Chain A
């Protein structure tokens, strides 16, 4: 399908024609065509590895294509560096933000373009005044002197957008901009995107979240396996059409059968307080077979709470009770010994060791049973890993594949798999599907449901509303270190969650 089929009123100003890109023997992009029109929001979709990011990195000068051409305003352009792209008005906002922690907000916005006064010195007064004006324009109540490290991820993202706009961007490419935003922040972002449209600035929006796309996109282009898979006009953008183009099946259609809880297994937090909110006592309880979701805004203390359950931090107060017995958990070692396991929030730096292979990652917390007299049995650990890998459908060339060569979804399966051979009592998932493609997401949900069916207690922390609503049996919402609400399935709506999350 060619990009020219759907015609809009203003003609495209950027055309990428027949773009190919190969990394060694791997063809990331194969004859891909897209166009971008002034003042539109173009959603670019596809599973991980479909080539969306590569395509946009080519447009923004990070990668050089191996074939094809780029026309801008009808003129063929060679974009061979980020600087060239910026001069042409093309700005990419990375998934991993690129702000400098040691500079303040204004310094970041004007980095490399600081206004100068006499003697070529930086005119700080003007810089702060300009920055303040831009911040006001976006309704941000942040001082330009604030250090970037003190901002939330959402705020940092907005700073990136402001930075892009102050560089006279014509098209802003956003790669998964909402992956760490809360609902409220996402809405703020959408407001800003509308504002950009009104100014005639185009936005290319890369996302996994289909409901966001249906909400804001004027047009959607779907890539699959490095090729054009299809294009949808505004009126055709809906969940079913998008999923069909992306993978050809629907992932959230999980069977909703009756759940059998096992109250003989239980986990209780009694007056637990964390180092972050030492004054706030938290009480919660879940039973075998239950999936308890914890929602809330970034900074509400969710991760600190579950990390405390796992012994990463010592509790500031209170105690835990597992199956009716009090537990003192001060280190991960204590938690593991009690059958409490955590699949942490930051996969690459906490969940797995990317430079070790599947076997070494899977058995790292289980070397006891896979060794005798302190000496590791390779046979035992290979067998144990093979079993888990098969159970979780880890797709890899072999068990000695290094984790860095696996997709995000398969990495996450390994991060989960390392606990499965130990018959968990409580398995905690913190942002279980962040950066995971849509196919693997479905598999991870299936794993969680399966474990629950076997009587394991599941605790899920997620910023993804759709996810927490779909997976949980019960939802606790946190706000500033306290549990501000508890929802039963009948009340599972994004509005209800948000209401508690902001403390209303």
Chain B
């Protein structure tokens, strides 16, 4: 598991450079802001990464955010449902979406790209339709301040989403790297047929990766909804699936499957947020935001290739 070392070094170098450029980077306020975003983005990136390790892809994430946000707002604000129930309902919905996509992919052997691309279009459409395309908000949060705390609050000075991500990362790390199921997912990512010939129920495992992705997307979706406090159904979470995929790839996942680690994915997700933070802190024009991100991802992947190359030759 030395693969993520390369990306980690780049990440540290990047942080050092930014803090030299603007010492406020390491100030409490900025650390809080950035780690909060890392938490929100890190959680669903873990799901995207696990799917990618199992040789799949989940393109529907951004649209699920929109749907989860809209439904959450409708339940809490329009229908005054108690917040624990509302949370349970949207988590159940995102699990169901994961299960549905996973079943089409694993059991009916439809390509993951196609299934989740259709999902991307479908969920967004549903979100816009049920909201009449009107921006849905949470207003002052009367009656559900408790759940808003999850997204906006701090515990011992650390943003709650970040703590939540650490907790999920630890569980996911044990699951993926230490458990029998994790080994199966890696085996499937590398050679699904051989995994099947070894007695692994490959359909069930592939389905499981999408259900996990659905669950983590749901959790991130709730945090994201309370982070913006308003959901514009047509634009909320647009393209966010790409943040998850980019974080996974930066963190050492191969789109060909069977490669990657939770630690790498977290570093990748953190890196994407720090890049956007540095654009503002270093006074780089906002218009260059995506350009900087593209370059850093490319450098990260190249460095990863370099480190991997060294690893195999020294072996």
Contacts and interface: CB of A to CB of B under 8 A. Distances in A.
A80 interface: no
A30 interface: no
A401 B315 CA distance: 8
Contacts of B195: 353, 364
Contact of A351 (B178, B197, B258): B197
A349 B198 CA distance: 12
Contact of A365 (B181, B193, B199, B315): B199
Nearest to A353: B191
A197 B183 CA distance: 54
B67 to A, nearest CB: 32
Contacts, number: 70
B306 interface: no
A437 B183 CA distance: 31
A374 B194 contact: no
A426 to B, nearest CB: 14
Contact of A355 (B180, B198, B258): B258
Given A355-B258, A367-B183, A374-B180, A331 B194 contact: no
Contacts of A364: 183, 187, 195, 198, 200
Contacts of B92: none
Interface string B164-199: 000000000010001111011011001101111111
A333 interface: yes
B196 to A, nearest CB: 6
A332 B201 CA distance: 8
B88 to A, nearest CB: 26
A444 interface: no
Contacts of A371: 179-180
Nearest to A341: B199
A312 B198 CA distance: 10
A322 interface: no
A335 B196 CA distance: 12
Given A368-B180, A371-B180, A375-B178, A354 B199 contact: no
Contact of B197 (A344, A354, A367, A368): A344
Residue of A310, A356, A371 with most chain B CB atoms under a 10 A cut-off: A356
A342 interface: yes
A352 interface: yes
Given A355-B190, A375-B174, A365 B183 contact: no
Interface residues of A, number: 28
B166 to A, nearest CB: 20
A392 B230 CA distance: 64
A352 B194 contact: yes
Interface in B224-280: 258
A353 B197 contact: no
B179 A332 contact: no
Contacts of B179: 371, 374-376
B174 to A, nearest CB: 7
A333 B180 contact: no
A418 interface: yes
A109 B197 CA distance: 36
A256 interface: no
A360 interface: yes
B180 A367 contact: yes
B197 A356 contact: no
Contact of B187 (A312, A332, A356): A356
A411 to B, nearest CB: 11
A353 B190 contact: yes
Nearest to B201: A333
A356 B186 contact: yes
A102 interface: no
A336 interface: yes
B253 to A, nearest CB: 14
A332 B183 contact: no
B178 A376 contact: yes
A418 B198 contact: yes
B297 to A, nearest CB: 24
A354 B195 CA distance: 12
Interface string B196-210: 111111000000000
Residue of A336, A352, A364 with most chain B CB atoms under a 10 A cut-off: A364
B194 A332 contact: no
B187 A353 contact: yes
A401 B195 CA distance: 19
A350 interface: yes
A310 B196 CA distance: 11
Contacts of B199: 331-333, 335-336, 365
Interface in A351-408: 351-356, 360, 364-365, 367-368, 371, 374-376, 401
Interface string B294-305: 000000000000
A365 B195 CA distance: 9
Interface in A301-326: 310, 312
B197 A350 contact: yes
B171 to A, nearest CB: 12
Residue of B174, B179, B181, B198 with most chain A CB atoms under a 10 A cut-off: B198
Contacts of A368: 180
B193 A349 contact: yes
B190 A356 contact: yes
Contacts of A310: 197
B312 to A, nearest CB: 8
Nearest to A381: B183
B197 A342 contact: yes
A312 B191 CA distance: 16
Contacts of A342: 197
B23 to A, nearest CB: 44
Given A367-B183, A375-B174, 11 more contacts: A312-B196, A333-B201, A344-B197, A351-B197, A354-B190, A364-B198, A364-B200, A374-B181, A376-B178, A376-B179, A376-B180
Closest 4 pairs (CB-CB, A-B): A336-B199, A332-B199, A365-B198, A367-B180
8 contacts: A332-B199, A336-B199, A364-B183, A365-B199, A367-B184, A375-B180, A376-B179, A376-B183
Interface of B: 174, 178-181, 183-184, 186-187, 190-191, 193-201, 258, 315
Interface of A: 310, 312, 331-333, 335-336, 342, 344, 349-356, 360, 364-365, 367-368, 371, 374-376, 401, 418
